[in-house]
Amino acid sequence: MNLFITGTDTDAGKTTVAAWICSRLKVPYWKLIQTGSDSDSATVQRLAPQTPILPEAYRLRAPLSAWDAARLEQVTVDPNRFQTPCTPCVIEGAGGLLVPIAEDFCMIDALEQTQSTALIVARSKLGMINHILLTVFALHQRQIPIAGIVISGAIEPYIQETIEQFSKERIVAVLPESSDLPRLFERTPVPEAICKVLS
């Protein structure tokens, strides 16, 4: 089975979480669509050097949403290219679930097409409860399995309780901010719920 990492927002911490999982479990990493000059694949390679990196289905130059970058560069995104190259695999989406990436095709459709289990990543900040619940609702509507929720940054216990109560999903990990991510990865085991998906 594959694990599809989706964020509640841009810069939620998806790439850091992907690098953490790949560094611990030694599974391949695949970024579906990359836009702009920064490379999430390169970041994962730097943070988890032993990780096999699979080439992106699409690489777009403009630092925009996938839909806008593709239109600007006159690239037609073919959803048929979102076929998982191998299993198990950690797949990283771009933005949130309802980000358009092709005509009548959003990131959640790509998730479904890869037949993956979702892992939700959210940054600890004001508004995250709503963002998490909306993301969970969208996944539940499609009956897409969820491995859990990972929070980037510290979270108060009462906020965690609220999220779990209303989402009916578990926060399986909290990754604190760190200036030494490889060391953080070394001392932070991957939760069993995620390991089961990628076993």
pLDDT in tens, 75-111: 999 999 998 888 899 999 998 999 999 999 999 999 9
CATH fold of 3-198: Rossmann fold (3.40.50)
Distance CA 9, CA 122 (A): 7
Residues of the chain with pLDDT under 70: none
- Give the model's pLDDT for residue 21: 98
- Give the model's pLDDT for residue 95: 86
- Give the model's pLDDT for residue 136: 99
Amino acid found at 96: G
CA distances for 115 relative to 30, 36, 61, 119, 131, angstroms: 14, 27, 28, 13, 23
Q: How far is CA 19 from the centre of its chain?
A: 11
- Give the model's pLDDT for residue 14: 97
The residues assigned a catalytic role are 31
Interaxial angle between packed helices 14-25 and 40-47, expressed in degrees from 0 to 180 and rounded to the nearest 10: 40
- 8 Å CB contact between 121 and 146: no
- Give the model's pLDDT for residue 86: 87
